[in-house]
Amino acid sequence: MRELEQEALAAIREARDLEALKTLKARYLGKRGLLTQEMKALASLPLEERKAKGQALNALKEAIERALEEREKALVEEELRRALERERQDVSLPGVEVFIGGLHPITLMERELVEIFRSLGYQAVEGPEVESEFFNFDALNIPEHHPARDMWDTFWLEGEEHSLPGPLGEEARGRLLLRTHTSPMQVRYMVAHTPPFRIVVPGRVFRFEQTDATHEAVFHQLEGLVVGKGITMAHLKGAIYELAQALYGPESRVRFQPVYFPFVEPGAQFAIWWPEGRKWLELGGAGMVHPKVFQAVNEYRKSRGLPPAYQGVTGFAFGLGIERLAMLRYNIPDIRYFFGGRLKFLEQFRGIL
């Protein structure tokens, strides 16, 4: 029996896991276990011997049970300790950077400009990038074969099968093209609305042009249009002045020089004084809406059964390039970076929202 005891206790102490412990329990205490068999054999012993051996066997059974219990507790604890070790997390480790996108610098600049004009009471609207010849040229007093069309080298769409909705949901007239400026939205907006109003139109425009560090075939403009009774050139200058102040602070100034655009009279090109760089930035064209544009709008409205609405009013319009301002704002030396599709460039604007 001593042997049995020693063997059992040693085996239990060395059991590697709960499974092994279970096997040992069956081996000693199970229905056909070693100890159980010894107990059964008691019946055949003489009384005195039976009593003494019975006590000893009971003591051994208790000892084995206790040993099993202890070992089980130890194994469970061990397993828990190992699990904790395995799943340990070091909260002091530096985090893994999560990629979040950012806004494109042109979008950032565009939003900044729109916000400036919104604060001056302008509403922002958008027009289609595929445009008809009528809105991009004819209605803006640039008829076919007019030399002024050469001011804008155009990407034309091929074929006759395309159709495009006009400002009133009707089919737009004329051949289709990629708009060469945001000015066609002047006509679209006027056809569908009545004055007075103040709008800005941000958007992408296209020109069939050789590119260089300051010229792209795809770029962005912000158009402005204000129409109402008694609107004058002074209001135009005031609007551009407010833009300059908002962009470059109280030291900034504005400059207007006469220039020809078919859809304004008088027409001007304007520049803003950039105090930090100590230079004039040529931003775009502007002027008073040409009577012929109002006339084209009235005629269009009439053909759709709408009253003229553009009589006895005046208006000013401007159109400026957004890339130029973004290049200064973000210190970008070449306009071709914007849409060159290089991640290294774009990643610099990560997280700027």
Is 220 catalytic? The answer is no
Distance of CA 173 to the CA centre of its chain: 36
* Active-site hit among 200, 221, 226, 309: 221
Rounded least distance, CB 129 to ligand FA5, Å? 14
What track of x and - describes contact with ligand FA5 for positions 285 through 324 (by CB under 6 A)? xxx-----------------------------xxxxx-xx
For ligand FA5, the closer of residues 127 and 321 by Cβ is 321
Interaction of residue 183 with ligand FA5, rule CB under 6 A: yes
Interaction of residue 262 with ligand FA5, rule CB under 6 A: no
Rounded least distance, CB 198 to ligand FA5, Å? 14
User: Within 199-228, which residues bind ligand FA5 (CB under 6 A)?
Assistant: 207, 209, 215-216, 219, 221
Rounded least distance, CB 165 to ligand FA5, Å? 22
Interaction of residue 181 with ligand FA5, rule CB under 6 A: yes
Cβ partners under 8 Å of residue 180, min gap 6: 136, 152, 153, 154, 205, 206, 207
Binding range to ligand FA5, per CB under 6 A, among 112-120, 238-246, 249-257, 280-288:
280-288
Rounded least distance, CB 286 to ligand FA5, Å? 5
**Pure H helices in the chain:** 2-14, 18-29, 34-41, 47-86, 105-119, 133-136, 184-192, 233-248, 291-303, 322-329, 343-346
Render 178-229 in DSSP notation, one character per residue: E-SSSTHHHHHHHHH--SSEEEEEEEEEE-----BTTB-SEEEEEEEEEEET
Rounded least distance, CB 348 to ligand FA5, Å? 21
Is 273 catalytic? The answer is no
**Across the beta sheet with 279-289, what order do the strands follow?**
123-124, 197-206, 218-228, 314-321, 279-289, 264-274, 254-258
* Active-site hit among 200, 317, 324, 326: 317
Is 207 catalytic? The answer is yes
Give the C-alpha separation, 258 to 266, whole Å: 7
Burial of 292 (0-12, 13-18, 19+ CB in 10 A): middle
Residues within the interface to ligand FA5 (CB under 6 A)? 181, 183, 207, 209, 215-216, 219, 221, 261, 264, 267, 282-287, 317-321, 323-324, 335
Q: Which residues are catalytic?
A: 152, 181, 207, 221, 264, 317
